[in-house]
Chain A
Amino acid sequence: MTQGTTSKQQRLILGSLFCGIFIILLIARMFYLQTFRYESLYKQSENNRVRIQSVTPKRGIVYDREKRPMIENRASYSLSVVPVEISKTETTERLAAILSLEAEELNRRIKKNLISRFQPALVKRDLDFEKIAILEEQNELYPGAVYRKDQARLYEPNLGSECFTGYIGEISPEEMKTLDPSVYKAGRVIGKAGIEKYYDRELRGMEGTEYLEIAASGQLLGVLESQPGVPAMPGNDLVLTIDKDIQEVADSVFGEFCCGAAVAMDPRNGEVIALVSEPSNDANIFSSVIPDDLWRSILADTTNPLLNRPLDGQYPPGSTYKLVIAGAGLELGLIDRNSLFPTPCTGGYKFGNRVFHCWELGGHGKTNVVQAIERSCDVYFYQLGYKMGLEELSKYSRLCGFGKKTGIDLPQEASGNVPDKDWYDRRIGKGQWTQAVLLNLAIGQGEILSTPIQLAQFYCGLANNGRVFRPHLLKTIIEPDGRETTIGGELSYTLPFKQETLDILKEGLVAVTQGEHGTARGSKIKGTVVAGKTGTSQNPHGENHSWFVGFAPADDPRIVVCVIVENSGHGSEVAAPAVKKIIRAYLEKYNLLNQGTAVVEVTP
């Protein structure tokens, strides 16, 4: 044999040896199984009942930012049926009777959740304990019926938090078509909305497997020793950016009004501190089986509780939108800090043969941009909007984040609407619309639509020197072994405004609460300066909606709050006090109020 090579004869010998060893190994193993283990395996083959049972992993807990639970698990029982073991029809009927179902319905459920004929198919979740007791006592009457400890979700009630927690439910056949079959199996639960859906992969963990030995009589003998199972892997726990205390306050601000939304965010990183949709649903009911009559009443409810208002509610932003117009005007050089428009506000503005009213029928006279924001003078913005033109107006709206999704970590949000020339051409028809639409847009009415979260995000930018973070709810992921991953803020975009412009806009926003003509001068908070803007969203179907978006402290903003209260009239009356309440609760909690400071002087 030369170095590193072999002769043909050696190859034949080595190859034969190699083959031979493996062949002997196979035969030896066969011999072992068919002689030494013959008796026990033969017996097993006669009463063959090995049942595969999946072990449900613990679904992750969801906490608020201070690690107080928002979503927990509670014990429950579920019932499954092993199709091969339940061959007799009377068993099916008996079982159906106990579950108060038709036998047909029971068979339908078995079929729906069938994995294989040897694996239990789920037929009923969250079964009453009495029924479990009956099945346990008379188990020989129900061969093939398998009940086991399961878990159900428990949502912290009365926080108006269903809009972001979402809920869970059984995977539907339609969902099954698009899901990864190695992770999702028929009859399992999945997040249907909110955090539960968006972070389902984090929360759900990995299913384990157990092999159980069943005697011919159907009696459970225990875990099969010869085949170890696969343990279940619990899901990750999630810590949210939500502050339960502030969420509670935000849920309480709507008073007598039925409907609205509240968003509180930290402008420095996009963390969502509170998110409320009013009226809200109870995720606990949604996550179990909803009784038919309740479901019908929810669908029939005219207040539309299924609409997730902070994310999916689209409203004209009203005067809160004037900051986009003012900022664009300053950037384009159409106005400066002190310039005035030729036509003073006399309570209205004549355009063509139509008069566009200012909300203050007494008029505001001549104002500069800061005063126009302070008093929310419509006539000022009619003129500015007209001067700017539709193209610039829609361009700046888009640059300020309107008309597109914020990218919040929730599965569903609306993008709002920023109309432009093409949009009007399509909607109304070429040449069928006039520049009058521009006047309406300039005061945030008409075809422009924003969601509360978009508006909150835009004001976060105003509060944070133009840097806009993507709103997010997830703060930390805690893996089962305790390892933590913290999610930081993610810069989404930068407002198209220079620092100088931002300063002028902020001056106007401060004047809204501090100035002697400010539209929200009643919403001062002792010990801090609130900056903000009122808004009224015109509603052709009823009373107008009122907006307020504000942040504080004005010199170092820590919280931005946006509230809309549907059908409640002017922003200053309902929405502004609501925002004030939330901001005060937050600043008090984090000790950000200056004790005994006088009201700050502001130039008018």
Chain B
Amino acid sequence: MSGMSIIKSPDFDWKLVTAALLLSLFGVFLIFSAQYHSNEPGAQMYYVKQLIWLGVALIAFFITISLPPRLYDFSAYLIYFLLILMLVGVMFVSSKSGASRWYSIGPVNFQPSEFGKLAVLLALARYFAYTKLPPTSTKRLAFSLILVIIPVLLILKQPDLGTSLVYLVILFSVWFFSGLSPIYLMLIVSPIVSLIAAFHWLAWVIYFFLLLLVLFFSRPGLSFSVLTTVVNLLFGMMTPLMWNRLADYQKMRILIFLDPGRDPQRAGYQIIQSIISIGSGGILGKGALNGSQTRLEYLPVRHTDFVFSVLGEELGFIGGVIMIALFAFILFRGMKIATKCRSNFLATVAWGVVTIIFFQMVVNIGMTLGLMPVTGLPLPFVSYGGTSLVFFWVLIGFLVMADSRWQEY
């Protein structure tokens, strides 16, 4: 079945593709508006570039759905292996600032960690589609964890905390989708909470007590319970011990390492300006091209990370709700496709696609609203940037495929 015939078939999910297209066009408009008054050379043409990239993205979408699904299935591990090679290779690419995250091919910067999300997802889906082990099997959990941890460590080295978090979230979500009960998932993720809670002893004691209660009532098996308890105890004890041994400036350095390139001064400033922008938009907004924050350039990186703030200022609450509704439509549709799909492989990929879109949307919009820390994750389909736009359209391609081509198995 070719790409064309999928689009022509009566089952083709026009609504889903239309929602993604509307978001993309919304993005082009907001980029246009954000830079309309800009003095920066070339900035006024950003929206044209984005429009060209949208064309490229649609072609990528079409190619994605044209290729036989089995191809992705068979080459999943190969693609994963190529990703690891590229992540290792990128460490040897020197750049002016020292560490590098991307390969420069002519005018295009190719960032392996971006498409790596998909590569890891394909590898995970492949593994879960064929393994006979039950969802709670330690071996199954451990193998999939290793699949994800290798690229995560390589990306942390770059360093890029935001992107490596996406990888972990994909793993947890796929675990859930493959049948692991939320209680198990909670217990597995619990050491991370322990790590964070351990910065205040009382918080940790309360958390640990709750954890024991959950363990007691859910009875997930003795060895599992003991392991969870011990790991949590260890994390809870070790964190303050290690942390307190560090001098203040060392702590600061670790925080800067985890969140590099993000000058704390600047980050705080961006949040303030973003909140002022969105709040001042009110219910109806100040009108297109009329945001004073945007016009006066108080709002930094307004066409990339903070594009949602431009929306909030110019189109107000109504505009914001429309955009979030478009996202919600894609997400719920995607989840439905994933649960309906009879091919295990495509179903898992579809669920992972939903996870990526959901996580990046919540983190990005949450950031502009001052609910989340500042990370460099762009808003899917909307933020300026060719790689990201192409990537998310490829993801939509996988959703469409899971919807209409699963029967080819």
Contacts and interface: CB of A to CB of B under 8 A. Distances in A.
A121 to B, nearest CB: 13
Interface stretch (A33-41, A355-363, A407-415): A33-41
A376 B277 CA distance: 84
Interface stretch (B15-23, B178-186, B381-389): B178-186
A16, A22, A226 pick with most chain B CB within 10 angstroms: A22
B344 to A, nearest CB: 11
Given A4-B184, A19-B335, A480-B248, A34 B293 contact: no
Given A5-B179, A26-B324, A34 B272 contact: no
A215 to B, nearest CB: 15
B268 A211 contact: yes
A29 B273 CA distance: 16
A363 B136 CA distance: 97
Contacts of A54: 265
Interface string B274-317: 01111111110000000011001110100000000000110011
A226 B298 CA distance: 17
A342 interface: no
B298 A479 contact: no
A30 B278 contact: yes
Residue of B181, B271, B332 contacting most chain A CB atoms (<10 Å): B181
A433 interface: no
B88 interface: no
B280 A41 contact: yes
Interface in A8-59: 8-9, 11-12, 14-16, 19, 22-23, 25-27, 29-31, 33-35, 37-38, 40-42, 44-46, 48, 50, 52, 54
B249 interface: yes
B268 A227 contact: yes
A15 B135 contact: no
A462 B177 CA distance: 75
Nearest to B265: A209
B264 A230 contact: yes
A233 interface: yes
Interface stretch (B52-60, B61-69, B358-366): B358-366
A505 to B, nearest CB: 44
Interface in B68-107: none
B373 interface: no
A198 B369 CA distance: 43
Nearest to B296: A48
Contacts of A11: 176-177, 179, 339
30 contacts: A3-B220, A4-B180, A4-B183, A4-B220, A5-B135, A5-B180, A5-B181, A6-B176, A11-B177, A12-B339, A15-B176, A15-B177, A15-B335, A15-B354, A22-B362, A26-B366, A29-B371, A30-B369, A33-B275, A34-B312, A40-B279, A41-B275, A42-B282, A45-B280, A45-B293, A48-B292, A182-B260, A224-B272, A226-B275, A233-B249
A228 B316 CA distance: 26
Interface in B317-347: 317, 320-321, 324, 327-328, 331-332, 335-336, 339
Interface of A: 1, 3-6, 8-9, 11-12, 14-16, 19, 22-23, 25-27, 29-31, 33-35, 37-38, 40-42, 44-46, 48, 50, 52, 54, 116-119, 182, 201, 205-206, 209, 211, 224, 226-227, 229-230, 233, 479-480
Given A16-B335, A25-B371, A4 B278 contact: no
B369 to A, nearest CB: 5
A206 B249 contact: yes
B1 interface: no
Contacts of A9: 339
Contact of A48 (B177, B293, B336): B293
Interface string B242-281: 0000011100110010001001111011011101111111
B305 to A, nearest CB: 15
A3 B134 CA distance: 11
A14 B263 CA distance: 38
Nearest to B279: A41
Given A4-B184, A227-B268, A480-B248, A27 B298 contact: no
Contacts of A42: 279-280, 282
B366 A14 contact: no
A38 B282 contact: yes
Contact of A44 (B264, B276, B321): B276
B278 A33 contact: yes
B224 to A, nearest CB: 9
A430 to B, nearest CB: 42
Interface string B132-145: 00111000000000
Contacts of A182: 253, 256, 260, 263
A34 B183 CA distance: 37
Contacts of B263: 182
Nearest to A29: B369
A117 B362 CA distance: 30
A27 B252 contact: no
How large, as a class, is the contact surface on chain B? 35 or more
A27 B331 CA distance: 16
Contacts of B276: 41, 44-45, 48, 50
Interface in B121-161: 134-136
Contacts of B253: 182
Interface in B164-203: 176-177, 179-184
A52 B369 CA distance: 19
Given A11-B176, A35-B283, 12 more contacts: A6-B182, A11-B177, A12-B335, A14-B176, A33-B278, A33-B312, A40-B279, A50-B272, A182-B253, A206-B248, A206-B249, A233-B252
B350 to A, nearest CB: 12
Contacts of B252: 206, 233
Contacts of A38: 279-280, 282-283
Contacts of A12: 335-336, 339
Nearest to A209: B265
Given A230-B264, A479-B248, A23 B280 contact: no
Nearest to A5: B179
B349 to A, nearest CB: 15
B181 A119 contact: no
Closest 3 CB pairs of A and B: A41-B279, A45-B280, A33-B279
A16 to B, nearest CB: 6
Nearest to A35: B283
Contact of A50 (B265, B273, B297): B273
Contacts of B136: 3-5
A14 B180 CA distance: 12
Given A48-B293, A230-B264, A479-B247, A30 B298 contact: no
A50 B265 CA distance: 12
Contacts of A226: 272, 275
A26 B325 CA distance: 11
A170 B248 CA distance: 24
Given A5-B179, A11-B176, A26 B365 contact: yes
A41 B321 CA distance: 20
